Amino acid sequence: MLLPMKAYRASILWFAPHSDGPVQALFEEDGLLVIGPNDSGTQVVQAIGAWRDLSPLYPQVTVEHWPGRIIAPGFVDLHVHFPQTNIIGSPADGLLPWLENYTFPEENRFAAPEYSAESARFFIAELLRNGVTTALAFATSHTESVNALLAQAQAQRLRMIAGLVLMDRHAPPELLNRGHGKISGTEQSLLDTEALIQRWHGKDRLGYAITPRFAPTSTDAQLQGAGELAARYSDVWIQSHVAENKDEIAWARQLFPRSRSYLATYDDFGLMRDRSIYAHCIHFDDDDRALMRDTGAAAGVSPTSNLFLGSGFFDYAGADRVGFKYGLASDVGGGTSFSPFHTMLAAYYVGREGQTKSGLSLKPQHLWWQHTAGAARALGLDGSAGQAAIGNLLPGCEADFVVLNPKATPLLARKTALASSLSELLFSMIVLGDDRLIEKTVISQAI
Ligand SMILES: [Zn+2]
């Protein structure tokens, strides 16, 4: 049985194809979005444009009319820790004490499958409430946590990419990857990673990411093994952290003195390529930026987390000058919000900061793109090279979208009514928006 075609009439926001040059947001005041199954039965965008032009072409299709609402692509979160939902807003004296006092004790609870399953349900509900339709997520060092998250995402058809945290040193013993009999924790973690790739990667809308927590908590042997898996399974993702904090960098340099820089450590172990996403990428030099560009790696910019932990400011001008890919991420629980609006606003603050780097004013369209089509491009899910397309509403894109109510609060209603341009409208929502702005999150269905 085929899914029927459907159409939605409302204002619509989407983006011109990336190949058309700089970021260009498109907006149709009275638009029509037509969705229907593609050859493999997945709901994708069939047509998008002005209602008056498109509606005569689809006379048989039922139209749902949402006056006063805005349809926009579902948000893509490039870096989030599913087991850290409970530790949002935990007070700590910087990154390393925060890990020790809050993160590690909470993550240890995910060895229990019921605890993992309950957390996964809450986590996914929270993503959807905030309009996030794709996430690249860390689990914990327990396979139970990966299985719980991906099973729950599969049940809800959420596009989820996740992986087992690889950590075989420099963390509390109960959180290190565990061995069995003669098999060391390091070996077992790599066997588990491969088994999880085979179980989950490419199933429905799920993907697997090879997930070293960060270089200092893995031995050379573990990073080496992770790099070998990354070579063998070239379409799985890789995710980790880099250059977030100066203490962390000094530590990584001490542990891997032969690498040119902290970032280069990952490259030396074969962990930088297309589909590798590194959270933070703050304290870089131009050689690091060029390494990102040349390997195809992308940055998961995590501004609420960086401001919360006082880590530093992502250098947008530097990234654009050298030309590597990036997109936005909540980094919950270091990050302080699941809301893409809060993340976009924090990215604006980070861009403005001009004491440690050059300051600039990121355009509202560009902020929005970083959390949708730009993030999809960073993941290699922008439809090029035959991959699925998400994060946009061009024909062929999977039909993941949000319905925004720009009158969701009295102040939003007052402010958005005054907007005389697309920039003003989008910026009002970025500055004043939160989960109340998301009236509905729609996930692409399949037969
Ligand atoms: Zn993180």
304 closest CA partner among 88, 33, 104 = 88
C-alpha 98 to ligand 1 mean position (Å)? 12
**CA distances to 35, 57, 363 from 395, in Å:** 9, 15, 25
What integer pLDDT is reported at residue 95 of this predicted model?
74
C-alpha 242 to ligand 1 mean position (Å)? 9
What integer pLDDT is reported at residue 342 of this predicted model?
98
What integer pLDDT is reported at residue 386 of this predicted model?
81
C-alpha 303 to ligand 1 mean position (Å)? 11
C-alpha 283 to ligand 1 mean position (Å)? 15
Question: pLDDT below 50 — which residues of the chain?
Answer: none
C-alpha 133 to ligand 1 mean position (Å)? 19
What integer pLDDT is reported at residue 2 of this predicted model?
67
15: alpha, beta or left? (left if phi > 0; alpha if psi -120 to 50):
beta
Model's pTM, two decimal places?
0.97
C-alpha 186 to ligand 1 mean position (Å)? 22
3-class secondary structure, 202: coil
C-alpha 307 to ligand 1 mean position (Å)? 13
- Tell me how far apart the alpha carbons of residues 355 and 438 are, in angstroms, rounded to a whole number: 35
Give the strand pairing for 25-37 and 401-404: unpaired
- Tell me how far apart the alpha carbons of residues 33 and 445 are, in angstroms, rounded to a whole number: 15
